[in-house]
Structure 1
Amino acid sequence: MVRIASVAAVLPEHVHAQAEIADVLAPLLTADQRLWPAIRRVHGAEGIETRHHALALEDYANLTTFQRTNDTFLRVATDLAAKATRRALADAGLTATDVDYLLFTSVTGIGAPSVDVMLADRLGMRADVKHVPVFGLGCVGGAAGIARVRDYLLGHPHDVALLVSVELCSLTLQHGDASMANIVSSGLFGDGASAVVMVGADRSEPGVEVVGTRSALYPDTLDQLGWDIGGSGFRIVLSPSMADIVEEHLGDDVADLLAAHQLKVSDVGTWVAHTGGPRILESAARALGLPDEALAASWASLARAGNLSSSGVLHVLADELAVGGQLPGSVGVLFAFGPGVCAEVVLLRWPESTPDGRPVGAP
C-alpha cells in the first residue's frame, strides 16, 4: 500500500490582519477612493482573519511588471520549498538522497529551470532523481499531486516520492484592476508551501494509506476558473458560479469513489477539504450532507491563512495529522477543485496503530 509518511506545511514570515491587507491593497487596485470601502467589505466577508505574504506589504506597490513578480516568485518559492521539504523529510526519518521521485506543482509562477530543479540542487538530491514540474492544476494541484504520486509508487513500490507545492498568490495581484474577480482574489488567496513524503508498499516507513483516487472534469466549465495570461502576468478568472458547480457534482464524485471501496459517506471519519472560500466550503458540505463541524479544520485553515491554492488542502491535511485522534483504521476523504473545472478526490485510511503499538492518535 502507498502511504503518506509525513506532511510539512510552511507559511512566509510576513503576516498581517485581513483588514490591514485591505487597507494597503485597495489603492493598488484602484485610484478611485469611492471604491475602497467596498473593497474592504469584500475582503472582510471572506472568512479570513490573517494572511501570510511573500513580501512586506509595502513592497507590492513596486511589483508592476511580470518579470519582477516572477523573479520574486522563483527566489521566494525555492526558499519555502526547501524549508517545507527539509521538515517533511526529517519528520519521515529520511534525507534528500532518499528521494527517488519529485513532483512540484504551482500555478503562481514559472521557471526553466523550474523550482524542483533548484530545490534538488539546493538540498543535494541524487543526480538520478526523477523530477516533474506541473503548472496549470491550480487549486486542485495538492490533491491531484497525491493521486499522481500514488500512481507512480504503485509501479515503484521500493521508492520514496516527494510532492512539493508552493503558491505565492499575492504576486499575481493586478494593479489598477478593480474587477470583482480581482477584488475577490486579492482578498481570498494567501501564500504558502507544503511538502508531502510518500512511500511505496515495500518501504518500512509508517503512514496514512492512500487507498484510491478519482478524477473528474466537468463539462462546459472551461471559462469558470483559471488565468488570463498576458503582459501583466496572471489575471484571475473566477466565476461566481464555482460554488454551484461544486454543489452539483461533488456528492456524486465522492459517492462513486467510496462505493468502489464498499463505503459510504457516513463511514468517513475525517474530511480534508480545499480551503476555496466560504461559499465553496458551504457548498461542499451541502453536497455531501455534512454537518458544519465536519469541515472545521478547513474553516480554521482558511481563517488563519486564506486560500493557498494547491497548498491549501495539504495544509489542512498537515493540521489533521498534527492533531491526531483519528480512530485506528478509519477512513478519510481529501478533495479539491481546479481549472477545467476539475476535481480530485482521494480516499485515505489511517493506520491501525503507531509503530510502537499504540492506537493512532493516542498520547
Structure 2
Amino acid sequence: MSRLVAVGPALPGRAHPQQEIIDTIGPLLTSDPVRRAALTRLQRSSGVRTRHLALPLEQYAELTSFGRANDLFISEGTTLAEEACRTALSRAGIAAADVDFLLFTSVTGISAPSIDAALVGRLGLRNDVRRMPSFGLGCVAGAAGIARVHDYLAGHPDHVALLVSVELCSLTFQRGDDSTANLVSSALFGDGAAAVVLTGQNHPAGRVGQGGPDVLGSRSCLYPDTADDLGWHIKDTGFAIMLSAGLPQVISENLAGDVSILLAEHSLAREDVTTWIVHAGGPRIFDAVAAALDLHEGDLQVSRSSLAAVGNLSSSSVLHVLDETLKLDRPAPGSYGVLLAFGPGVCAELVLLRWGVPE
C-alpha cells in the first residue's frame, strides 16, 4: 500500500474561450470553408468551454518548425512543472530534499536531459534522487504514473515519491492539416501540468496535506490490434495525431471486464466503488465509460467539468480530475474509488483507491 498525500495542478496563462481559440487557430489549419465549418461543429460538440495555452494566441502563427515548438516545450514546460511540484509539496507539507523518487512524464515534447533533471536544481531536490522520465504513454500516463510510483513505494515503504506530468498539447498542432483527427485535436486538447506526492505506508507524512486516499493496487491493459487508433505519427513538422473513431468501441468492449478483474483481486465488486476519477478524454469517451460501467450522470460530473474548464490535458488530465475530486467533501472512511485513463496502444490503466481514517 502507498498513500496519495497531495496533488498540485498548474495551468499556463489565462483561460481562453473556445471560440477565441478556434478563430485564431482555424485559419492556420485550413482555408477550406467546408473544413472550417467542420472545425466549428467539432468545437461545439467537444464539451470544452475554455482552455489554457502555453503561448499567447497571436504567437501560434509564428510556430512554423518542430525545433522551435520543442524548444518552447522545454522552457515553458519546465516552468509549469516547477509550479506544479511546489504546489504539491507545499500541500503535502514535505520538503523537496525529502523526495526519494521522481517520475516525470510527457508526450508533447522531448529533451535530453529530460525536464525532471532541471527540476532537481530548481526545487532543491537531492542530487541522489532516483529519476525515471517517461515518454509515449500519452493520456494514460497520469494514471500509469501513480501505479508505477505505487509499485516503487511497495519496496520502499519509508520513501517519498513525486510524480510530475507536463503536457503542452497546443505546441503539437499541425499547420495546414485539415484532417479530421487534427481538427478534433485542435478543438479538444489544452495545456497544463500536475504533480502528485505519494509516500510509502511507513512514512509519517502519509496523512498530511489534502488527506488523499491509499493506493491499493492497479491493473494495466493493452488491447491487441489497436496501435493505429491513438498516438503520434512523427513527421518533419512534429507530432501528427492519430485518433480513430473506433476508440470508444475499444473501451466499450474491454473496460468492464478489466475493472471487474482489478476489483475481484481485492474481493470487491463494482457496486463497492463510490468514486470514479476518469480521464477527461472527451464526450464520446465519457459515454463509453458510463455505458461500460453502468455509471450514473453524477459519477462523471467532476471529469466533465474538468473537460469544460481546461480541455483534455493528456496525461495531466486525470490528475486534474483527481485534484478536483479531493477538493470535494471527503468520501466516507473505508470507501473505494477507481482512477482510470486510456492511452496509445490502445491501453488502459486502472488504479484502486481507498479512503481511510487520518492517523
Alignment TM class, shorter chain as reference: over 0.9
AA at the equivalent of 1:120: V
- d(CA) in 1 for partners of 2:169 and 2:190? 6
- d(CA) in 1 for partners of 2:13 and 2:112? 26
AA at the equivalent of 2:164: V
- d(CA) in 1 for partners of 2:177 and 2:241? 10
- d(CA) in 1 for partners of 2:34 and 2:274? 48
Give a deviation string over 1:312-360, Cα, whole Å, max 9, x none.
00000000111133111100000000000011000000112x35xxxxx
Q: Is 2:178 the partner of 1:178?
A: yes
Deviation of 1:14 (Å): 3.2
Give a deviation string over 1:95-131, Cα, whole Å, max 9, x none.
1101100000000000011100011121121010011
- d(CA) in 1 for partners of 2:40 and 2:23? 7
Q: Is 2:253 the partner of 1:253?
A: no
2:340 to 314, 335, 341: 335
Which residue number corresponds to residue 143 of structure 2? 143
Q: Equivalences for 1:76-115 in 2 at 5 Å?
A: 76-115=76-115
AA at the equivalent of 1:327: A
- Which secondary structure does the structure 1 equivalent of 2:58 belong to? helix
Deviation of 1:55 (Å): 0.6
1:238 to 239, 243, 246: 243
- d(CA) in 2 for partners of 1:32 and 1:247? 35
Q: Is 2:313 the partner of 1:308?
A: yes
Q: Equivalences for 1:102-251 in 2 at 5 Å?
A: 102-205=102-205, 206=207, 207-251=212-256
Following TM superposition, where does structure 1 have runs of at least 4 consecutive aligned residues deviating by more than 2 angstroms?
31-35
- Which secondary structure does the structure 2 equivalent of 1:157 belong to? coil
- Which secondary structure does the structure 2 equivalent of 1:14 belong to? coil
Which residue number corresponds to residue 263 of structure 1? 268
AA at the equivalent of 1:292: E
Q: Is 2:292 the partner of 1:283?
A: no
- d(CA) in 2 for partners of 1:2 and 1:262? 19
TM-score w.r.t. length of structure 2: 0.97
AA at the equivalent of 1:115: I
Identity of aligned residues (%): 56
Q: CA RMSD in A?
A: 0.9
- Which secondary structure does the structure 1 equivalent of 2:338 belong to? strand
- d(CA) in 1 for partners of 2:213 and 2:169? 29
- d(CA) in 1 for partners of 2:167 and 2:311? 12
- d(CA) in 1 for partners of 2:328 and 2:226? 37
AA at the equivalent of 2:91: D
- d(CA) in 2 for partners of 1:341 and 1:2? 27
Give a deviation string over 1:16-51, Cα, whole Å, max 9, x none.
111111111110101224432221111111011100
- Which secondary structure does the structure 2 equivalent of 1:186 belong to? helix
- d(CA) in 1 for partners of 2:59 and 2:33? 21
Q: Structure 1 stretches of 5 or more lacking a match? A: 356-363
AA at the equivalent of 1:236: I
- d(CA) in 2 for partners of 1:141 and 1:294? 22
Q: Structure 2 stretches of 5 or more lacking a match? A: none
- d(CA) in 1 for partners of 2:329 and 2:134? 31
- d(CA) in 1 for partners of 2:218 and 2:38? 41
Deviation of 1:15 (Å): 1.8
